[in-house]
Chains A and B, each alone.
Chain A
């Protein structure tokens, strides 16, 4: 059997070729090219030639010292945090409710479908829709405020930088909490029911079960959610770009991706600076993902799982002994 398989080994290489070629051509080469451009004087629309700068780090220095870039970076983190913290909290609560053993929420299927729905809609459409909803001087939000007598006249919502940021963060939250909820539910449902039974017998309340069994065992999935949300969130583009005109007051909603886009595709087409900014963003994302992985490494989980299993077993044993004693 083994000898036979060996003779087919070449197909392993042949069938991997398309993937490798596409990866090298469309991911690896562009990444290297971007890094390269960061060290050059490449700019201007339709430019073909470029020279390496005498001071290779000049673009990077310029970018880091650009206040707009720092603002963009700060905004990106701020708006990601404003969306992620409430998102993960709500998703956790909903996941606990929907997968709970204590009570059954009727219409779960319906709620899941409805909560996940915004995620599937084009982000560009959602951004423009919310822009229209918060329209000035006339828009549904202004209409609502007026009919509830909350405002004297039409409010230009996005004039306030915190409202502008808040709406960007809210849209992200609104689009993603359903997704996170479903992922967490599937994580909870994947856990051994024995752990919960054992805890129940031990007299643990719903909250105790959630904090001492569900949460620790969700760690891997929480890391996964955190990392994917971070990588996606730091590349946030469509919503800040299309929701508020010109990134709002004092660049309140300018994100790193929008900054890179503006550098490269508007004004003086500074591809070299945009590349330098891209490399900085790339490094930040890589470092942060690595840090998250490192901080929440698997071995804790393994240890904890072992401990839990031990506890559960002991509890079971105890129960059996007690049952016998009773009889």
Chain B
């Protein structure tokens, strides 16, 4: 029983450390949001304040008066992320379906191949990708950022795991008896069954596409094509050098959609992270 008593003092330490980490997680964003409402002069006097001020609109006007166009960036990011997420989940499920449901000669080699390419650090090889896109005039074209998602090996792996446990092959067989074509079976029977897995994977795919900076930065050179992360990188430039309030404003605008998504879906996101880890 000494264990219990010892653990009470121990528990206090646990809570203190968790509390510190909580502050560490929240504080930068809190400073950001509050400073987005404060004027540059106020920030210059005291950069940390817990009381919001009234310059929100003013900061927004300064921000958008220069090259930062949050609506454009938001829309562009939305198009790319939605497109690539749709491609990724649909075709990954289709590929997993091919591996799980059909018996074909190359099935096992193909799955081994997917496992092997899962860890390829493709970003490092983006010079070839850029040159390829440049030669076929696909730079400044969102398709260059959307279509590659059709081949998402990690997601195929996850979908396969889920399908093995959630999709009874009898359903496919009975659909055949009912005269359903294979493609129709996949679209109308299998996809609905896969919904939970698709939802989880869609969140992660969307967020990682939304947050991607490297590829959009090298591919999209025209200002009207800029994504949200590229817009953010403009805040680093000289034009905003002394406009502290509007820098915080710009940051807040890019974080806001993610915050909303996260707090609506955090339960599923955390569960999804946990699921992804067990696959190892």
- Show the binding face of A for B, using Cβ within 8 Å: 2, 4-6, 8-16, 18-23, 25-27, 29-37, 42, 48, 94, 97, 102-103, 105, 107, 111-118, 120-126, 128-133, 135, 138-144, 174, 178-179, 182-187, 190, 205-206, 220-221, 223-225, 227, 231, 234-235, 237-238, 241-242, 245, 257, 260-261, 264-265, 271, 274-275, 278, 281-282, 285-286, 289
Contacts and interface: CB of A to CB of B under 8 A. Distances in A.
Contacts of A220: 280
B258 A124 contact: no
A29 to B, nearest CB: 6
Contacts of A245: 236
Interface of B: 3, 7, 10-11, 14-15, 18, 21-22, 24-26, 28-29, 31-32, 35, 43-44, 46-48, 91-92, 94-95, 97-99, 101-107, 110, 117, 119-132, 135, 147-151, 153, 156, 173, 182, 186, 207, 210-211, 213-214, 218, 228-230, 232-233, 235-236, 244, 247-248, 251, 254-255, 258, 261-262, 266, 269-270, 273-280
A260 B127 contact: yes
Contact of A185 (B32, B233, B255, B274): B274
A149 to B, nearest CB: 15
B182 A11 contact: yes
A34 B235 CA distance: 32
A9 B273 contact: no
Contacts of B29: 121, 129
Given A114-B22, A129-B28, A30 B211 contact: no
A29 B43 contact: no
B129 A187 contact: no
B28 A103 contact: no
A34 B127 contact: yes
A282 B121 contact: yes
A42 B135 CA distance: 13
B95 A19 contact: yes
Contacts of B230: 124
User: Which of B35, B218, B274 has the most C-beta atoms of chain A within 10 angstroms of its own C-beta?
Assistant: B274
Given A18-B94, A128-B235, A186 B254 contact: no
A282 B48 contact: no
A174 B235 CA distance: 22
Contact of A103 (B10, B101, B262): B10
A13 B3 CA distance: 60
A141 to B, nearest CB: 8
A122 B14 CA distance: 29
B122 A118 contact: no
B247 A12 contact: no
A73 to B, nearest CB: 13
Nearest to B92: A19
Contact of B127 (A174, A235, A271): A271
B151 A27 contact: yes
Contacts of A264: 127, 130, 218
